[in-house]
Amino acid sequence: MLLAEISVLAKSVVTDKSFGFSKGSAVDRSTWLSILIMMPTKEVQALVQKARHAWLTRNADEFVNLFTDSSDFITPGFRCVGPTKIRHAFTDYAASFDEVQIDIRSIIQEGNRIVIEWDWHDREKATGKRTHAEDAIAIELEGMKIRRWREYIDVIKSHESKRS
């Protein structure tokens, strides 16, 4: 029954020009499902994986290349505007932390907006302090570049490593 309902909804959605389709357009099943249940496109999934990879490898160039020239990067208590300031914030973080692990929990897309939920683990180099946080990131795209990255962070636990 669900597939029949999706089919009916898909036929009504095709007349909505906000999706870039016109009546009678041939659209494959995965596109309909992406539209109807807000699944991220393959391009958006790739973009999120690139962001994750950049953090894991502490690669500022890879991360900054995901952003527009006038982008905002906002985390609790902190805001950077433009690639130069984003690069500086990224390299400051990379110099102070290692052992980054990111587990993506979900990616939701609606048009040019994305919400990512991921678990973040890292270790502060100077103290050995380990942190686990659950993050929610709201992203606004311009084309396939990030125009705005707004991150909400809930620290779950933080503790000192035992040193030998």
Domain spans, the chain: 42-159
| Residues 42-159, CATH architecture | Roll (3.10)
Nearest to 68 by CA among 11, 148, 126: 148
Q: CB neighbours of 154 closer than 8 A, spacing ≥ 6?
A: 133, 134, 135
> How large a percentage of the chain has pLDDT more than 90?
67
Q: Which two tokens stand for residue 150?
A: 């707004």
For residue 15, the tally of other CB atoms under 10 A from its CB is 12
CA 60 vs. chain centroid, Å, equals 16
Average pLDDT over residues 64-75: 96
Average pLDDT, rounded, for the chain? 82
What is the C-alpha radius of gyration for the chain, rounded to an integer number of angstroms? 19
Per the DSSP assignment, residues forming a β-bridge with 59 are none
Q: What pLDDT was estimated at residue 156?
A: 87
Helix (H, G, I), strand (E, B) or coil at 58: coil
What is the rounded CA–CA span in Å between residue 154 and residue 12? 40
Residue 142 pairs in a beta bridge with: 145
Instruction: Decide if pLDDT at 13 tops 50.
Output: no
CB contact at 8 A, 66 and 51: yes
Q: Which two tokens stand for residue 18?
A: 């906000």
pLDDT interval class at 11 (50, 70, 90): very low
Tell me the mean pLDDT in the region 127-151: 95
pTM for the whole structure: 0.73
- At residue 87, the pLDDT reads 97
Statement: residue 83 has pLDDT above 60: yes
For residue 159, what pLDDT band results from cuts at 50, 70 and 90? low
**120 pLDDT above the threshold of 70:** yes
Instruction: Give me the mean pLDDT over the 146-156 stretch.
Output: 95
Amino acid 41: pLDDT: 86
Helix (H, G, I), strand (E, B) or coil at 12: helix
Q: How far apart are CA 99 and CA 121, in angstroms?
A: 8
Between 155 and 19, residue with greater pLDDT: 155
> Rounded to whole angstroms, how far apart are CA atoms 17 and 8?
17
Of the candidates 58, 12, 46, the one whose C-alpha atom is nearest the C-alpha of residue 114 is 46
pLDDT score of 88 more than 60: yes
Q: How confident is the model at residue 112 (pLDDT cuts 50, 70, 90)?
A: very high
